[in-house]
Structure 1
Amino acid sequence: MLPFKLWVDADALPKILREVIIRASDRYQLEVIFVANQNVGITPSVRIKSIQVMQGADQADKEIVDRMQANDIVMTQDIPLAAQVIEKGGVAINPRGEIWTESNIKARLHLRDFMDTLRGAGVQTGGPAPISERDKREFSSSLDQTIQKQKRKTA
């Protein structure tokens, strides 16, 4: 097994990405941990685990940050969680394959806070579009590249 893990913030995991993550686990012999406050319907195996946390805001996020190590990869669409992952030395990737870094996370946090302010004022901002097949391919490619990079980094 690789010296790093893939943590999945599974509370809002698009189902279309589960197979991509499981195939990556098989291909790279990578341990994957799905973390959610509900049963995510993942069949555990030697490399694939599932942790169910208590109900409540950000419980899965807290569990991931508490357990992850530097160089671990975290798949999340939660920007504050991504910021904590980066701060702890991990790599954060979103469901569309974008890698969040120290150089882009602050701008994302500011934009998120601005959108929260607009929603709080009653403005309808809409949400992200559903994950498409193209997004799935982008995520798969980005995840492969990230795993390869972490393999070289930790070798």
Structure 2
Amino acid sequence: MAMIWVDADACPKAIKEILLRASKRTGIEITFVANHHIPIPSGYPQVKSVTVSTGFDVADDLIEEQSEPNDLVITQDIPLADAVLTKGAKVINTRGQSLTKENIKQRLNMRDFLEMMRSSGVQTGGPKALCPREIQDFANVLDRWLAKIPK
């Protein structure tokens, strides 16, 4: 049965709350993976938190290894998204954007370009804060995915 994997190190609180409500409503299994403890409130038996050791891409590696076709992975990490898409998982970012085999290469190219700019000393700035519309977009995309999975 499909489940949700969350790259939780940088997952905003509002997104975690939406995921918890979705699990309560539908019974979907969710695993938050991070290099620090993610507290799960009581009353969510199908939600767990996995704490991995500190290190480069340790959480990503676990998600890549454990995710299966038709699982949903929530991440902002473009290389992780690419890896799990190759396995047949679905991916959305915390802004409610679906990452697909059709658009992931463009995202990888942009990520690599920005990384090259930063390494040459150009200040590219960080991501902007989530706005209410993006939070709603995330909830809508999540609901559409939940409606499609076999019960």
Residue in structure 1 matching 2:28, options 20, 30, 47 = 30
The residue that corresponds to 2:74 in the other structure is: 75
Alignment partner of 1:46 is 2:28: no
The residue that corresponds to 1:62 in the other structure is: 61
The residue that corresponds to 1:20 in the other structure is: 18
Aligned pairs for 1:118-137 within 5 A: 118-137=117-136
What is the CA distance between 1:42 and its match in structure 2?
2.1
Opposite residue 40 of structure 1, the aligned amino acid is: I
Distance in 2 (alpha carbons) for counterparts of 1:70 and 1:43: 28
Cα-to-partner distance string for 1:56-107 (whole Å, 9 max, x where unaligned) = 0100000111111111000000000000110010001000111100000000
**Seq. identity, %:** 44
Partner of 1:81, secondary structure, is helix
What 5-or-longer segments of structure 2 have no aligned partner? Answer: none
Partner of 1:30, secondary structure, is coil
Distance in 2 (alpha carbons) for counterparts of 1:37 and 1:130: 22
Opposite residue 11 of structure 1, the aligned amino acid is: D
Distance in 1 (alpha carbons) for counterparts of 2:129 and 2:69: 31
Cα RMSD after superposing both structures: 1.1
What is the CA distance between 1:50 and its match in structure 2?
0.5
TM normalised by structure 1 equals 0.93
Between the two proteins, the alignment pairs up a number of residues equal to: 150
Cα-to-partner distance string for 1:84-138 (whole Å, 9 max, x where unaligned) = 1100100010001111000000000000000000000000001111111111111
Opposite residue 28 of structure 2, the aligned amino acid is: L
